[in-house]
Amino acid sequence: MDLNELLRPEAVIANLKANSKKQALQELAERASEICGETERDIFDTLLQRERLGSTGVGNGIAIPHGKIVNLDGLHGLFARLDKPIEFDSLDDQPVDLIFVLLAPEGAGADHLKALARVARLLRNNEIASKLRATTDATALYSILTHPQASPNAA
């Protein structure tokens, strides 16, 4: 699965300003609502509920908040590079500055897991993560995320 199937150019935020995990999730839910057509409240509640099960901060400054929404029409991704790192209760206790939100329909099953694994492999690639951190232009970020060299075996 290529990220250009999940991520549209308008779903990339180059300099998200947030002071907390909750604020970041709120801002991301607002943008995701515009992209996928679901209510901001439903998206925020879904992401928050998932965080209560355990942090989606996977380490190395990366978080992958995700969840399933009943009437969603397909998989949707949203990427944000934070203006400054925030506390996210990550597995390695490090602050987060790269967030990829993944939303899936209730019945997505394996597709949701495959997309989640694809995003995790990509963002764990140190070279790609460094490029994302060094870029403040949304178009360039989208290009880095969806470029064919960002292959699953690059991690």
The DSSP call for residue 48 is H
Neighbours of 95 (CB within 10 A): 15
Annotated catalytic residue within 66, 76, 112, 147: 66
Amino acid at 146: T
Compute the distance between CA of residue 130 and CA of residue 140 in angstroms, rounded to an integer. Answer: 13
What is the enclosing helix (H) or strand (E) of 80? Answer: strand 76-86
- Respond yes or no: is residue 112 known to be catalytic: no
Helices (H) and strands (E) in the chain, counts: 5, 6
Amino acid at 53: L
Compute the distance between CA of residue 149 and CA of residue 128 in angstroms, rounded to an integer. Answer: 10
Which residues are registered as beta bridge partners of 16? 82
How is residue 35 written in tokens? 């992209």
Positions annotated as catalytic residues are 66
